[in-house]
Chains A and B, each alone.
Chain A
């Protein structure tokens, strides 16, 4: 069966520090991968998606970036965090193809001080 791992579970970072969140998927090949952000009490906002290694599409202009160095690895990064980057970051995967449900990881709760 397929599993998705996200780490760390929680992170507290100072303003201006760098960020690296990692997501890996097991039990499937060539998945579509997604990064979402959820502000407190709000819905999920799509940040990035990827249909293959090195292929990244950005949905929202911001100081975040994403990379996919391996087929089942998706990384969310920032060079300098802002206070507004606080939130709950969720990685998701789906099988290749359009009408495939997305399955979420456990998320990373990021607090910026």
Chain B
């Protein structure tokens, strides 16, 4: 089955710097890759997602890139702010039969220091 590895497990940056989180997946049939942000004790919230027919997607300070050949995808946060501090999860799924089963990475704890 699908396996998703996420690195680094913790990331500390200064406010204004960029942060990059990387994930690799094992199943080349995976075709949907969302990213979630989870603040302490709260629900995961979708921040951006990408399909396998797209190599890059941006939403303001957040971007995701996908390399299907290498089977990895990355989250890029520019001009980080203290409110970006949270745990970020990547996920991969094979969309079929009208649903998708997300396989999550273990998470990256991002700390943005003022």
Contact = CB atoms under 8 A, between A and B. Distances in A.
Given A99-B51, A101-B49, A104-B43, A32 B99 contact: yes
B62 interface: no
B101 A96 contact: no
A30 to B, nearest CB: 10
Which bracket fits the contact residues of B? 20 to 34
B95 A44 contact: no
Contacts, number: 60
Interface residues of A, number: 24
A63 interface: no
B104 interface: yes
A87 interface: no
B51 A104 contact: no
Contact of B98 (A98, A104, A106): A98
Interface in A2-61: 32, 41-46, 49, 51, 59
Contact of B102 (A41, A51, A102): A102
Interface of A: 32, 41-46, 49, 51, 59, 90, 94, 96-107
Across the A-B interface, the 7 shortest Cβ-Cβ residue pairs: A98-B95, A43-B104, A104-B43, A44-B104, A43-B106, A32-B99, A101-B46
